[in-house]
Amino acid sequence: MFRIHCPHCREARSEEEFSYAGEAHIPRPVDPSSLSDSEWGEYLHTRTNPRGPHREMWVHTAGCRRYFNVLRDTVSYKILAVYPVGEMPPEQGEA
Amino acid sequence: MGAEVRRRAAGGRIDRDQTLDFVFDGRALRGFAGDTLASALLANGVDVVGRSFKYGRPRGIVGHGAEEPNAIVEVGAGASCVPNLRATQVELYNGLEARSIRASLFQRAAGAFGRLLPAGFYYKTFMSSPGAWMAWERVLRHAAGFGKAPDGADPDTYDRMNHHCDVLVVGAGPAGLSAALEAAGWGARVLLADEQSEFGGSLLAETRALGGDSAAAWLDGALAELDASGNVELLPRSTVSGYYDHNFLTLVERRSDHLGPVAAAGTRERLHRVRAEQVVLATGAIERPLVFANNDLPGVMLASSVSTYVNRYAVAPGKSLLLFTTNDHGYRTALDWHRIGREVVAIVDARESPAGGWVAAAKEAGIDVIVGHAIIEAVGRSRVSGAAIASLQANALAGTPRRLACDLIACSGGWNPTLHLGSQTGVKPRWSDSAGAFLPGDLGGGTVCAGAVAGTPTLRGCLEQGALAGATAASRAGFGSGRTTRSAPEVDEPPETPARSLFLVPHPKRVSRAPKQFVDFQLDVTASDIELAAREGYESVEHVKRYTALGFGTDQGKLGNVNGVAILAEALGKDIAEVGTTMYRPSYTPATFGAIAGRDVGGFFDPERHTPMHEWHTSRGAEWENVGRWKRPRYYPRSGETMQQALNRECLAARDGVAIMDASTLGKIDIQGADSAESLDRIYTTGFRKLGIGRCRYGLMLHEDGTIFDDGVTARLGEDRYLMHTTTGNAEVVFAWLERWRQTEWPELSVYFTSVTDHWATAALVGPKSRTVLAKVCTDIDLTGGAFPFMAVREGHVAGVPARVFRISFSGELSFEVNVPAQHGRAVWDALIDAGAEFDITPYGTEAMHVLRAEKGFIIVGQDTDGSMTPADTGMDWAVRRNKPFGFLGDRSLDLADHLREDRPQLVGLATDDARTVLPEGGQLVDDPECRPPVPIAGHVTSSYYSARLSRPIALGMVKGGAGRMGETVHCPLADGRVVKASIVDPIFYDPKGERQRV
Amino acid sequence: MSEPPGVVCRECPDRAFVNVRGDVGDPRLRDAVAQVAGVDLPREPGTWNQADRSRAYWLGPDEWLLVVEGDDGLEVEGRLRSALDGHFSVVDVTGTQVHKELSGPDVGKVLQKSSPYDFHPRHFPPGRCAQTVFAKATALVAAREDGAFDIVFRRSYADYFMRWLADAAAEYGYRLD
Ligand SMILES: [Zn+2]
């Protein structure tokens, strides 16, 4: 059971208040119509699935309902950083 | 042997004024308050408490705590009985009824079973032929012999409590108590949990003085101080069962079991969910048994357990003791035995020249110390009557074995730190040569280990290390400097001679030929089994565990694992460190389902959401349908009506007269801001920019992969304000979807979304007479078709309450959906019912709603679609606008080659040729009426009803290339063997031009 | 009953609830709320302000719940709408909310049974509020000066919620006012 610091509520809350919202930093292509089927398919389906630091998006479902990014180690489950949507993680790790 | 002989006349922590009667396996016995079931059984001379799992050998009590592998009992009766408890952890109460659950197995299956279950039985049998499990399952499950789950509903109450603390101290022995005192002294919020009824751990059986006072007096002082502190919560009878990520731990507190079934009121067990800034693990250590031939005979016990029974429970579980030890500590048991005036036959010490303080004390007491020897075999039938000992040089026997008579063998093979919790976090224990034991691995900055679990051998050391751990943990949590503020009490710690590592005592016969040398008592795993595994090529300890079942019992190998690992290492010619241990998993001791479920059972299993009109529906005898968490009326049967009759009546009322439905559960989202229309354009397939104020439009919501995931009608309430309707089940998903795009991709859009699902109560007034009925209670809205057209919204008052009225229709009839703030919902509903009385207004439920919409060919997302369907697949290209500036979510995917295939499943209507049979929903559709295998599937039925209006069945389905197969025939095989013929038809069965809803 | 109940639940009727969204940095928003409801929007996460008959609870960085005693939600919404300018959202949500006050010496234990949030006074002193998981639903919980807690939850969950509270509090003695 994770303990996640919500950057909007500015305190640590228990995992059951949050929902995972997929890998972070997968921007929607600006002009989808210019992409080939396979390029569009990359955006739809391809994810990094790393062993180690993983940049992911979470939403504080039962709290402030705000989205934010988390850098989390998929081996140790340690949360290495929490940072706003639209920014890069403060420590890149090996991601 | 009688009870008087076993129970000492004085001493111990039992209350001799409170005698307790109990029954074990039908025998009426007596004990005292303060006894465990195990101590009371020993006091009563009960030697055999069960039969072993595989070989049916008699077994007695070995330990005194969570490690006990043999004395597994079922306590209580009927539905509240608990199988699978360790007698050493069951507090005695008056009237307790316990049964040995491990006695029954071999009364049924006899000793032949052992030959059926050699080491590797499970592995070989089920890995090589998966089908074998089917054949064996019944036999094995029946014979597994670890208790029988009661079949009645559990009458007791369980619950859950959440905790947040600065420091959780696990274990209230000397180290844990010291840690708690120190952390509390710094002001930290401390939670101190211990699995026993009394705090104190090893101090409860300690005979030495602490700081010049008795151990009991020191303990009382410490507990009084903790009790008086305002920031400490004490949780006795609480087993820390799981240690999960981010310092989240679960504790199972047994609140009433010690009071017996009379205390059924109140909470029986409570699961504490603890989030700790810091955890101090002071879980102590469990003595390591010694592995020699027939070491499972009743009367072979752990030395520390013998001492505990003598000192804490005033029970001497025998007459003449033979101590077998590899270390100085074990000598204390012989001294305890000697002190109470019983015979110590001898101390057999595996070491050549022990010379520590306890050794000297034993010699001084006149006890015969036989050095350089080992017990190679216990002798006796159902109880130890003697032992064979032999000289042990290096790792081989020397000389001729000789025999000593005794009725109790106490073993001390050193200590295994109780490191299970640390291991649960995924950190592997590490072998320490100096400690001769596995120690917790590096658990990181949120955990401190203190005392015996950290390999600290002395009481004095445990007290000191505990205090330091408490100060460290408090400091890391933000309290204090990390230095201790109190000095540990003085304890007499004589010098000790290093212990000898001895994991398997040799026998004159080879291991495979010698009498069984048990490693894991609970699952009857022997040294020979482990050597066999090594010979068969297993090297990984995890594989050997699965091959031999070592550590697979409910005790998770608390006694046997380390010996097992060492024997494996020896057989493989490897170091113990190299072999490592298996991982331990929650729960530390078995937990009940009751504790896990808590109060989330029965009416609390899943919340029911009620609309403001819920009571009315109840009063009308509604049958319910669960839609998500909502309770929705499914239909309202009148007395004597079948469901179909009720549906026919409800549907015809909606088509011919006036009917009313509670539509409050539909998701509703208020949208405000200058970019509301732009947001809607991007979210929905349809366009909203040009929608007039006061008008409504239908839209499909797609995932980025182009599949439909929601639909609904959105109304424009003002220049920059809209109201979106979602399906009932998707309200929260859609709301989160909107916020996701707003927050993460489109922060530049000026738009806010607010969920108003619960704010509005909605009554859908449906049918040709709905306008007339509404007009009676709504005078400030012009309801005529010209002023208030189809797909429009008006604000006014209904029954005197501010209302929004939508002219939208999911039935294809003239329809007004009246929305009022929920606090007025019931009153307005009542007013509408009153107004409609003269027209026989008919309430209808979700089932009639489904029929009405299916007659119109309207889909239900999630019923007629399955998450793979695009707008084109459902024939709803008309609801897609491809020329919007931004496009919309999922737009690009509609052009994917796969989505353009003509043979995709497409929505069609299905009309049975016999005009009688209602096709089963989910029924498969095939082209071959003979159904000759392999039968290619052409599609399936998604919705199917009897239509009262059309006097025949109607159905919707998905058929491959269905849009191009109008008029063709498909076949639906039924479960009863019949095959029903159906024609593919247009999905709109009724009023195809949509005239009725526009009147 | 001789023993005073450990937990008392009291209905707080007759209140208007309005959801307010906007940029807290925009003085027009704060001024409009102050003018209409007489209360300052809290800027600090997880806090609430009280003034006379009004309360403003922080729900998110751009979202508040405004509660006005003895008023009508639609009217408060209307007054705010007229007083506001720029990008904002105000929505009457009076129908959504059920507002209860929980008090008594054992109220903390009932909260502990219901929510993974830390309501200990060290962490959650008067003036704090939090939206969190409550039983199998969600709630807004606020700590008051008098040691009681305000609990605001969705109407459709009211039946479940009230049964849950009564059951969780039963062992301490429970009274519903
Ligand atoms: Zn938050």
Q: Do B604 and C168 touch (CB under 8 A)?
A: no
Give the architecture (CATH level 2) of B157-285+417-476.
3-Layer(bba) Sandwich (3.50)
Confidence of residue B142 (pLDDT cuts 50, 70, 90): low
Check CB contact under 8 Å for A11 and C60. no
What is the average pLDDT across B765-787?
97
- pLDDT value, residue B104: 43
Look at residue B103 and tell me whether its pLDDT is greater than 70.
Answer: no
Q: In the predicted model, is pLDDT for residue A91 greater than 90?
A: no
Instruction: Give the pLDDT of residue B148.
Output: 75
| B595-637 pLDDT per residue, tens | 999 999 999 999 999 999 999 999 999 999 999 999 999 999 9
Any chains having at least 3 CB pairs less than 8 A from chain B are A, C
What is the dihedral angle through the alpha carbons of B205, B209, B214, B215, rounded to the nearest 10 degrees?
Answer: -40
Confidence of residue A94 (pLDDT cuts 50, 70, 90): very low
Query: Domain range spanning residue A13?
Result: 3-83
Sequence letter at residue B728: T
Which residues face B96 on adjacent strands? B22
**What values do phi and psi take at B729, rounded to 5?**
-75, -20
CA A51, CA A58: separation in Å to the nearest integer? Answer: 19
CB A47 within 8 A of CB A57: no
Share of chain C above pLDDT 90, in %: 96
Q: What is the mean pLDDT of residues B804-809?
A: 97
C117 to chain A: which residues are within 8 Å by CB? 13-14, 17
Q: Do C132 and A63 touch (CB under 8 A)?
A: yes
User: From edge to edge, which strands make up the β-sheet containing B708-718?
Assistant: B696-702, B708-718, B721-726, B667-672, B752-755
User: Chain B contact for C125, CB < 8 A?
Assistant: no
Main-chain phi, psi angles of B571, to 5 degrees: -65, -30
pLDDT in tens, C19-70: 999 999 999 999 999 999 999 999 999 999 999 899 999 999 999 999 999 9
Cis peptide before B587 (omega within 30 of 0): yes
Interface test with A, best of C131, C136, C153 (most A CBs within 10 A): C131
Among A2, A4, A5, A11, most C C-beta atoms within 10 A, so best to mutate, is A11
* Domain layout of chain B by residue ranges: 1-153, 157-285+417-476, 504-599, 643-664+759-852, 667-755, 901-998
Of C60, C116, C117, the CB nearest to A8: C60
Percent of chain A predicted with pLDDT > 70: 95
Q: In this complex, how many residue pairs, one in chain B and one in chain C, have their CB atoms less than 8 Å apart?
A: 108
* CATH architecture assignment, domain B504-599: Orthogonal Bundle (1.10)
Task: Say which CATH topology domain B667-755 has.
Answer: Alpha-Beta Plaits (3.30.70)
A60: CA distance to ligand 1 center in Å?
5
Q: Tell me the per-residue pLDDT of B820-853, one tens digit each, with 9 for 90 and over.
A: 999 999 999 999 999 999 999 999 999 999 999 9
The CATH number, out of the four listed (3.40.50.300, 3.30.2020.30, 3.40.50.920, 3.10.20.440), of the domain defined by the range B1-153: 3.10.20.440
> How close does chain C come to A78, measured CA to CA in Å?
20
CB C123 within 8 A of CB A10: no
What CATH number is associated with residue A11? Answer: 3.30.2270.10
Question: What's the whole-number mean pLDDT along residues B408-416?
Answer: 98
The band of B723, judged by pLDDT with boundaries at 50, 70 and 90, is very high
Question: Residue B11 has what pLDDT?
Answer: 92
Mean pLDDT within C110-138? 98
Which pLDDT belongs to residue B260?
82
Asked if B857 and B675 touch (Cβ cutoff 8 Å), the reply is no
Shortest Cα distance, chain A CAs vs residue C115, angstroms? 10
Instruction: Say whether A65 and C132 touch across the interface (CB within 8 A).
Output: no
CA A3–ligand 1 middle distance (angstroms):
12
Q: How confident is the model at residue B150 (pLDDT cuts 50, 70, 90)?
A: confident
Contact B300, B412 (CB under 8 A): no
pTM confidence score: 0.94
Give the closest of A8, A9, A62 to C133, CB-based: A62
Cβ neighbours, 10 Å, residue B331: 29
Number of domains in chain A: 1
Distance (Å) from the alpha carbon of A3 to chain B's nearest alpha carbon:
6
CB-CB under 8 Å, A64 with C60: yes
H-state helical runs in B434-483: 459-476
Does residue A89 belong to any structural domain of this protein?
A: no
Task: Quickly state the pLDDT bin for B117 (edges 50, 70, 90).
Answer: low
Among the partner-chain residues B245, B743, B891, the one whose CB lies closest to the CB of A66 is B743
Give B880-901 pLDDT, tens digit per residue.
999 899 999 999 999 999 999 9
- Amino acid B129: pLDDT: 67
ipTM value for the complex: 0.98
Instruction: Supply the DSSP symbol for B831.
Output: H
CB-CB: which of B275, B705, B739 is closest to A14? Answer: B275
- Across chain B, mean pLDDT equals 94
- Mean pLDDT, rounded, for B342-352: 97
- Which CATH superfamily includes the segment(s) B901-998? Aminomethyltransferase beta-barrel domains (2.40.30.110)
The C-alpha of B268 sits at a distance from chain C's nearest C-alpha, in angstroms, of 12
Q: Which CATH class is domain B643-664+759-852?
A: alpha beta
**pLDDT tens readout for residues B198-239:** 999 999 999 999 999 999 999 999 999 999 999 999 999 999
> Could you report the per-residue pLDDT of B247-297, keeping only the tens digit for each?
999 999 999 988 887 555 689 999 999 999 999 999 999 999 999 999 999
Q: Give the C-alpha separation, B954 to B921, whole Å.
A: 11
Give the residue on C whose Cα is nearest the Cα of B164. Answer: C118
Answer whether C95 sits within 8 Å of B159, measured CB to CB.
no
Q: What is the pLDDT of residues B390-407, one digit of tens each?
A: 999 887 899 899 999 999
B462 pLDDT exceeds 60?
yes
Give the number of other CB atoms < 10 A from CB of residue B736.
Answer: 17
The minimum CA-CA distance between B690 and chain C, rounded to whole Å, is: 21
pLDDT for B151? 85
CB < 8 Å from C in window 642-671 of B: 670
User: Is A92 a member of any domain?
Assistant: no
Cβ pair C46:A11 closer than 8 A: yes
Task: Find the mean pLDDT for residues B492-514.
Answer: 94
Q: Across the interface, which of B426, B740, B891 has its CB nearest the CB of A21?
A: B740
**pLDDT tier at B77, thresholds 50, 70, 90:** confident
**Cα B747 to ligand 1 centroid, rounded to whole Å:** 18
Instruction: Catalogue all structural domains in chain C, each as residue range(s) with its CATH number.
Output: 7-11+97-176 (3.30.1360.120), 15-92 (3.30.70.1520)
Q: What is the CA radius of gyration of chain A?
A: 15
Segment 271-330 of chain B within 8 Å of chain C by CB: 273, 275
